[in-house]
Amino acid sequence: MSPALAIAHLDVELGGRGVLEDVSLTVGAGEFVALLGANGSGKSTLVRSAVGLTPFTGSIQLFGVPLERFRDRARLGYVPQRAATVAGVPATVSEVVASGRLSRRRLAGLPRARDRSAVADAIDAVGLGSRATSPLVELSGGQQQRVHIARALAGAPELLVMDEPMAGVDRENAEVLAGLLGALAAEGTAVLLVAHELGPMRPLLDRAVVMTDGRITQDGKPDAVADHEHEHTHLHSGAPDRLAPLPSEGVWP
């Protein structure tokens, strides 16, 4: 079986400045991998390159297919860092999350029962079931970010790439979200998650990858990443509940 993501000898230059240099990274099916590093280390550039949003030289393969030839977008879910909402767009939470099912629907076909069920389940999973019919513009920035996470989950991706979804989240709610992601990985979804700290994800991770100045400087078991080796990593005890949904309020204040 080909890995969900295989990056080899990746170089990225933006604005005439080298951002990534000779980066190689593999994420296997069902692996839960955290990508750590200080601001400016290249984490977001790496994941944006992996999903085809940033030009690069080198090799990127998704499920064994070169990125430039990859067309099965239903297998890939991406949550950008603090995804912005276009002001004035009157879409509801359900409508936005439903757009995550488009790649799994027949051309011009109406939503099927399985699509509606997947949308409802994804909204419940991020704790916004009571706001399903609310216009997105009425939600707080943190709640809007949860909607974008639900949109990615609704597509039932085999590879989920997330850029700092836990930024600003308190410990209790971070544990719940970590449990949700850990459960997805246990069911076979590959997860690559950019983070500033391991926190409650530590006991659920398969690997922790540390970036410094555009290079990968460490790739191994999470226990090998200690506080003194990474300024944004903090130890927390206890494993999160893998089954509990996110609470409805207060996750992203």
> Is residue 123 a part of any domain in this protein?
yes
> Is residue 74 a part of any domain in this protein?
no
Higher pLDDT, 184 or 144: 184
Same domain assignment for residues 97 and 130? yes
> Is residue 252 a part of any domain in this protein?
no
> Is residue 146 a part of any domain in this protein?
yes
> C-alpha angle with apex 142: 212 to 185, nearest 5 degrees?
60
β-partners of residue 163 are 194
Same domain assignment for residues 45 and 168? yes
Residue 84 has a pLDDT of 54
Distance CA 222, CA 205 (A): 7
Answer yes or no: is pLDDT of 20 > 80. Answer: yes
> Does the global pTM surpass 0.85?
no
End position of a domain, from candidates 103, 127, 156: 156
Highest mean pLDDT among 54-63, 73-82, 161-170: 54-63
Residue 139 has a pLDDT of 86
- Strand-by-strand arrangement of the 17-27 sheet: 17-27, 5-14, 57-62, 65-66
Higher pLDDT, 187 or 253: 187
Residue 227 has a pLDDT of 46
Number of domains in the chain: 2
Residue 242 has a pLDDT of 35
pLDDT tens digits, one per residue of 197-247: 888 888 999 999 999 999 999 999 998 876 434 444 333 333 333 333 444
Please name the amino acid found at residue 222.
P
Give the residue numbers spanning the domain of 93.
83-156
pLDDT tens digits, one per residue of 168-181: 566 766 777 788 88
> Is residue 76 a part of any domain in this protein?
no
CATH number of the domain within which 223 lies = 3.40.50.300
Residue 178 has a pLDDT of 84
Same domain assignment for residues 148 and 204? no
End position of a domain, from candidates 141, 156, 171: 156
Residue 238 has a pLDDT of 36
Answer yes or no: is pLDDT of 50 > 90. Answer: yes
Same domain assignment for residues 103 and 211? no
Residue 170 has a pLDDT of 62
Same domain assignment for residues 176 and 241? yes
Q: Across residues 87-92, what is the average pLDDT? A: 75
> Is residue 73 a part of any domain in this protein?
no
Answer yes or no: is pLDDT of 144 > 90. Answer: no
Encoded tokens for 55: 């030009």
> C-alpha angle with apex 123: 120 to 124, nearest 5 degrees?
85
End position of a domain, from candidates 107, 130, 156: 156
Residue 1 has a pLDDT of 78
> Is residue 186 a part of any domain in this protein?
yes
Residue 236 has a pLDDT of 33
Specify burial of residue 237 (Cβ count, 10 A radius: 0-12, 13-18, 19+).
exposed
Same domain assignment for residues 112 and 182? no
